């Protein structure tokens, strides 16, 4: 049986205060359906960080996974860039 491809997103860590969890903000530009102007949209996702290796400001890649808790459906894949 073949498993479906999982969603991957890239975002910035905005909170690392929880144990083994980080909040990742994903920014995207979406075209307004009527006016055609591009609007900035953002969403905040809670991701599982097993080794507590993320810090605020890091750019990370996260992947969708099974529900790990009430709000956690994502897990950390890699840290793309460390905060300066």
Domain boundaries, the chain: 8-81
Sorted by sequence, the CB contacts under 8 Å of residue 59 that are 6+ apart come out as 10, 11, 12, 13, 79, 80, 81
| pLDDT single digits (tens) 31-75 | 999 999 999 999 999 999 999 999 999 999 999 999 999 999 999
Give the per-residue pLDDT at 77: 96
Give the per-residue pLDDT at 41: 97
Residue among 26, 22, 30 at smallest CA distance from 10: 26
Query: Does the pLDDT of residue 7 top 80, yes or no?
Result: yes
> What does DSSP say about strands 38-48 and 59-64: parallel, antiparallel, or unpaired?
unpaired
Give the per-residue pLDDT at 83: 86
Q: The domain 8-81 is classified under which CATH number: 3.40.50.720, 2.40.50.140, 3.40.50.1100, 3.30.420.280? A: 2.40.50.140
């Amino acid at each position: 049986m073949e498993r479906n491809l999982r969603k991957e997103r890239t975002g910035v860590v905005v909170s690392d205060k929880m144990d083994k969890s980080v909040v990742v903000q994903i920014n995207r530009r979406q075209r307004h359906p009527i006016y055609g102007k591009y609007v900035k949209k953002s969403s905040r996702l809670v991701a599982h960080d097993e080794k507590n290796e993320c810090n605020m400001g890091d750019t990370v890649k996260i992947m969708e996974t099974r529900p790990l808790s009430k709000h956690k459906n994502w897990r950390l894949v890699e840290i793309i860039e460390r905060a300066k």
